[in-house]
Amino acid sequence: MINGNSNYRIYQGMTHRGPVGSVGLARTFKYGNFQASAVKKVGKSKYYFVWIDGHKAGWLNQRAFLRNKISVVKKISLVNNTYYSFPTKDAINFATDLTGTVVNPNKVKAYQDEVLSNSASEHKITFTYGKAHAHTVVEVRGDAQEGVGVADKP
């Protein structure tokens, strides 16, 4: 699960009425690795018992996680090379489903599987998973001799 930019609190315990005993804010652990081991529904809200970086943390509202999101590299630049094709799914940083759970990038649909780098061009690639979508631009530069050098030392 990926923590969003939120002010949601982490709670020590859960009752039938809701969470109790605030222990801190989820945004404090923005870059932490969140894992859920249990879920409880209270009214219309779902709370997950989360572990952060392998340590028990507490109960956290589901809305604290990024949901329906695909993060991709915005622009990719390739050298002109007749022997290489770029697999577009390599542009995906992460994708989450409607609950905020990270999904395998192979489950994300890319509207173009690869970009041939044999001629100068620009490709706009769209990625989708459920309601989530993202775009990246793959540019193949025109100079076929770019990066080619001659060794001047034995």
What Å distances lie between residue 146 and 59, 79, 141, CA to CA? 54, 7, 9
**Pairing assessment for the beta strands 75-78 and 132-140 based on DSSP bridges:** parallel
Residue at which a domain ends, from 42, 64, 86: 64
> Is 3 within a domain?
no
Same-domain pairing of 85 and 136: yes
Same-domain pairing of 79 and 115: yes
| Structural domain containing residue 97 | 69-140
What Å distances lie between residue 138 and 86, 103, 114, 133, CA to CA? 9, 23, 10, 17
Q: What is the pTM of this model?
A: 0.75
Same-domain pairing of 21 and 48: yes
Same-domain pairing of 51 and 78: no
Q: What is the CATH classification number for the domain harbouring 114?
A: 2.60.40
pLDDT tens string for the chain (154 positions)?
677 767 889 999 999 898 999 998 888 888 888 888 888 999 888 899 999 999 999 999 988 888 899 999 999 999 888 889 999 999 999 999 988 888 999 999 999 999 999 888 999 999 999 999 999 999 999 876 776 667 777 6
